Amino acid sequence: MPLISPSRRLRRTPFSDGVEAAGVKAYTVYNHMLLPTVFRSVEEDYHHLKEAVQVWDVAVERQVELRGPDAARLMQMLTPRDLRGMEAGRCFYVPIVDETGGMLNDPVAVKLAEDRWWISIADSDLLYWVKGIANGYRLDVLVDEPDVSPLAVQGPKSDELMARVFGDAVRDVKFFRFGWFEFQGRPLVVARSGYSKQGGFEIYVEGSDIGMPLWHALMEAGKDLDVHAGCPNGIERVEGGLLSYGNDMNDDNTPHECGLGRFCNTQTAIGCMGRDALLRVAKEGPIQQVRAIEIAGDKVPGCDRVWPVMAGEKRVGQVTSAAWSPDFRTNVAIGMVRMTHWDDRTAVQVVTPDGSRDAVVYENFWA
Ligand code: THG
């Protein structure tokens, strides 16, 4: 592969110096920013993530901040998930849809206070959609991208590492909740969340100046835990069925097609964009849906375009992410499959770049 030319448009993060000193081998671009994808090798990183603890530069999870009296109203306009029962101190995974019910993003909403929210976005320019709605409806709310960069600590030893840096109280933070914890006298949001199924935390680092000091503190405190720089792992996240916006879905898909119907309460999410369209699809049900797909044979190549899912001569879907799983000793994949073939254990074929392979559709992911 050719290199990518650095420039100001391709933003570095507060942790990029640490990432590069740790020997990052490849980057991708996400929200116009550098996101590491490989340190030692994707497979070595995978095993290490499941055994030890890693520190991830996920500053690309940019925040869209809503501040002001209409912040909560605006947040509910953005998502079909009912936010009425959501208290400050909680994080919600929320589909964001356009006026047709198409997915614009699948962020984590962080409720700091009734009048202050962070939307921790996936890879699409959500800021402009949110500003458009805030201004078009003349809402009393400020919308901007603050200097907040998430740093994730993931893996089975993440509780121990976090307790050493932030104190034992961090162990009591529950899944998808956050607390305020001090680092160098600065209060930071620390949530139990992250883009892996191995457990861990996300530190919302407010102020780029403390990025590298915090990075070093975690690396120093975790030496005997075998802490290493890591990143969202392309194998582990497919095993766990964690969706990637732009890969596994885009604005052509409804949340129901993405398997995110459980995060929609379209009946009661009054005022949300695309509500009428979603009420229709919720009633009729989707005709295709995200599924786990096992692809037979040796390690598949990287999936940088869709691979058709076939039932004989008939196209019944597409694979959008795939990887060889060392633990399950098979190729794991995520795809969109039509209703006629989405039942558990349906046999299909997948057209990979090096030929057609036998495959099986599953209703549940591996992890
Ligand atoms: N953390 C934060 N911001 C993010 C991500 C993150 N922004 C970008 C991207 N990841 C957004 N997409 C996701 C996808 C899945 C999850 C979180 C964000 C996730 N899902 C869990 C699951 O599906 O098992 C739990 C969902 C739930 O039960 O609420 O964690 O990772 N800050």
Closest CA to 236 of 202, 200, 201, 197: 197
Task: Supply the mean pLDDT for the chain.
Answer: 98
Question: 178-235, pLDDT tens digit by residue?
Answer: 999 999 999 999 999 999 999 999 999 999 999 999 999 999 999 999 999 999 999 9
Atom of ligand 1 at shortest range from CA of 122: 8
Structure confidence at residue 153 (pLDDT)? 99
Question: 52-65, pLDDT tens digit by residue?
Answer: 999 999 999 999 99
The share of the chain scoring above pLDDT 70, in percent, equals 100
Residue 94 Cα to ligand 1 middle (Å): 9
Residue bearing the CA closest to ligand 1, atom 21: 242
Residue 109 Cα to ligand 1 middle (Å): 10
User: HEC string of the chain?
Assistant: CCCCCCCCCCECCCCHHHHHHCCCCEEEEECCEEEEEECCCHHHHHHHHHHCCEEEECCCCCEEEEECCCHHHHHHHHCCCCCCCCCCCEEEECCEECCCCCEEECCEEEEEECCEEEEECCCCCHHHHHHHHHHHCCCCCEEECCCEEEEEEECCCHHHHHHHHHCHHHHHCCECEEEEEEECCEEEEEEECCCCCCCEEEEEEECHHHHHHHHHHHHHHCHHHCCEEECCCCCHHHHCCCCCECCCECCCCCCCCCCCHHHCCCCCCCCCCCHHHHHHHHHHCCCEEEEEEEECCCCCCCCCCCEEEEECCEEEEEEEEEEEECCCCEEEEEEEEEHHHCCCCEEEEEEECCEEEEEEEECCCCC
Residue 229 Cα to ligand 1 middle (Å): 20
Ligand 1 neighbours, Cβ below 6 Å, are 61, 93, 106-108, 120-122, 150, 176, 193-195, 202, 242-243
Strand partners, 200: 154
Structure confidence at residue 271 (pLDDT)? 92
Residue 107 Cα to ligand 1 middle (Å): 7
Residue appearing with tokens 């501040």:
67
pLDDT category at 2 given cuts 50, 70, 90 is confident
Atom of ligand 1 at shortest range from CA of 93: 29
Atom of ligand 1 at shortest range from CA of 202: 32
Residue bearing the CA closest to ligand 1, atom 1: 194
The share of the chain scoring above pLDDT 90, in percent, equals 98
Residue appearing with tokens 């074929």:
349
Q: What whole-number distance in Å separates Cα of residue 141 and Cα of residue 145?
A: 13
Which one of 111, 154, 193 would you pick to mutate in the ligand 1 pocket, going by the greatest count of ligand atoms within 8 A of its CB? 193
Structure confidence at residue 1 (pLDDT)? 74
Q: What whole-number distance in Å separates Cα of residue 186 and Cα of residue 355?
A: 55
Atom of ligand 1 at shortest range from CA of 242: 15
Which one of 83, 90, 91, 195 would you pick to mutate in the ligand 1 pocket, going by the greatest count of ligand atoms within 8 A of its CB? 195
Residue bearing the CA closest to ligand 1, atom 15: 242
Structure confidence at residue 122 (pLDDT)? 99
Residue 16 Cα to ligand 1 middle (Å): 22
Residue range 9-23: mean pLDDT, rounded: 98
Look up residue 129 and give its amino acid: W
pLDDT category at 282 given cuts 50, 70, 90 is confident
Residue 193 Cα to ligand 1 middle (Å): 7
Question: 128-149, pLDDT tens digit by residue?
Answer: 999 999 999 999 999 999 999 9
Tokens coding 222: 């975790």
Atom of ligand 1 at shortest range from CA of 91: 29
Question: 232-264, pLDDT tens digit by residue?
Answer: 999 999 999 999 999 999 999 999 999 999 999
* Chain-centroid distance, C-alpha 221: 27
Residue range 77-103: mean pLDDT, rounded: 98
Residue range 34-54: mean pLDDT, rounded: 98
Question: 310-337, pLDDT tens digit by residue?
Answer: 999 999 999 999 999 999 999 999 999 9
Residue 192 Cα to ligand 1 middle (Å): 11
Residue appearing with tokens 């770049």:
353
Atom of ligand 1 at shortest range from CA of 232: 31
